[in-house]
Amino acid sequence: MTGDRLSGRGNTKGLKLAKIVLGIGTSHGPQLSTPPNEWGQRVEADRNRPDHPFRESTYTFDELVALRAGENLSSEITLDVWEKKYDACMTAIERLAEVFHAVKPDVAIIMGNDQRELFQEDNNPAFCVFHGDKIVHRPATEVQVASMPPGIAVSMGGYSPPEDREYDGVPDLGDHMVRCLMENGFDVGVSNKVPTAAARNSGIPHAFGFVYRQIMKDAVVPNVPLFQNTFFPPNQPTAKRCFEFGQAVHAAIESWESDKTVAVIASGGLSHFVIDAELDRRVLDAMQRNDFEELTAIPEVLYQSGTSETKNWIGAAGILAASGLKMALVDYIPCYRSEGGTGTAMAFATWR
């Protein structure tokens, strides 16, 4: 499958067109914005959850501990290990930030997901394109912070700025993208305004805020947020559909009449809230080989819960497949927080 099979809008012969010059994939889990000595805050919630998805079944916490006893995960949850893994993650994030600022793209396409921060059960599109001219980015209110579960409030500085900010969207590209997507079989949702009074959030969701703060270092370039509903049934797009969505986005970008350079950024994943390093390696290896048949053949039952955010990488890979850029894995760091294997597997990659 390649983006060349899809068409952009109209006859672009002889016109100056946009060009994709960079791809980035980054995890955005709370542990990346939490001091290592606080990583255990979420374990009580892990213990109380009755249905942890792992492989092709669900387990209580105690069942996970018994199932994974042979992995010696207790050796992964010491403060010394946590500090070393945190440092490795920070090094990888800094590498992504250095690459982003060295390439200096004019605009960015960010592939992320919403976790009931903006979209609610009454309206939750499978795919949505933000095509507004301004993106609101705000810190959480005191009321919102007070309602957050343990281990979340401490991480909010990694996602939200200390004061209200507003960044530029790219409405011209967003509108062009929507038209191209519709022509190529994707009946997408659209949004031109970020709500500022949602129950859990006061602006753009954390998947995008992490990129603004950690990769762009608050020097935010004009960008188009793309939402995929990876988390919530019944309208979760499949991995195959996410890849095809990315292909259609690629066709739109490279038919956009502009001399702008474009970065494509995937935010989220990999496996969590139970880490499955075997699955993560399978996904990363397939991406590095450009083996998209393997990538989209992985059973959907494995792309559930937080692991579903891997589909943001798959959507971005769809955009980058026909770009000529090559993926390089910066690092893969499974950050366990309990002997049951809960935590987040952090991955960081570039396409150049």
What pLDDT is recorded for position 4?
44
What pLDDT is recorded for position 148?
87
Question: H helices of 129-235, where?
Answer: 142-146, 171-183, 206-210
What pLDDT is recorded for position 236?
96
- CA–CA distance, 245 with 74 (Å, rounded to integer): 40
Which secondary-structure segment (H or E) carries 312?
A: helix 310-320
pTM, whole model, 2 decimals? 0.95
What pLDDT is recorded for position 195?
72
What pLDDT is recorded for position 3?
41
Domain boundary assignment for the chain: 3-351
In the chain (352 residues long), the average pLDDT of successive 10-residue segments reads 54 80 97 96 95 96 98 97 98 98 98 88 92 93 86 90 95 98 96 72 88 97 97 95 98 97 98 98 96 93 96 97 95 98 98 98
What pLDDT is recorded for position 144?
85
What pLDDT is recorded for position 298?
95
What pLDDT is recorded for position 119?
83
Q: Which CATH class is domain 3-351?
A: alpha beta
What pLDDT is recorded for position 145?
86
The SS3 call for residue 346 is: strand
